Amino acid sequence: MRARFITAASYLLLILGAFALLARPLQAQTVSEFVAEHPDVSTFFTLANATLLREAETLSTSRTLVTVFAPDNTAFRRLPARVTRKLHQNHTLLNDVLLYHVTLGNLTKPELIVRRRFRAHTLYDNQTILIRASSRVITVNGLRVVKPGFPFDLGTVYTIDGVLVPPSLTREILG
């Protein structure tokens, strides 16, 4: 009887241990690990790394969660040459455009779908972006999310098919 109890207890511990391993959250990737696995957004993160160091450090230190809507590399290549030149020559302008792609809070795909249509505040001057979501399509200011949200150590990254331009800077950037 005692042997059966010990065997049953051993099996129970083994099963509970397996469940504990399965329930353990996956280790979130750092930004560099994320970019290494998702080179299609390397342009955005290279620019962000060069210009948003202070902001990134603040977010990392405070453990503030964010959602990043990162344009794919093709979106940057499609920008008119004069716009690319302006952004490379004016670091403040580039900084503002990049911050407009980041919102406070970790917006997961299920949360986006539940909220359906809403405005989210960006890190650029508290300006907002319009997010529309259904189970099939997510758009940000009309730009399509082409890859689902991927977790990283500070939140979630969605890949979008264009570069977001803050309305207050449209004339300066595109004009």
Complete domains list, the chain, with CATH: 28-174 (2.30.180.10)
Confidence of residue 1 (pLDDT cuts 50, 70, 90): low
Phi, then psi, of 93 in degrees rounded to 5: -65, -45
pTM summary value: 0.82
Q: Radius of gyration (Cα) for the chain, nearest Å?
A: 21
Compute CA distances 20 → 10, 15, 16, whole Å: 15, 9, 6
Q: What is the pLDDT of residues 70-115, one digit of tens each?
A: 999 999 999 999 999 999 999 999 999 999 999 999 999 999 999 9
DSSP three-state, residue 124: coil
The residue count of the chain comes to: 175
**Cβ(140)–Cβ(129) below 8 Å:** yes
Average pLDDT over residues 40-54: 90
Q: What is the pLDDT of residues 139-171, one digit of tens each?
A: 999 999 999 899 988 899 999 999 999 999 999
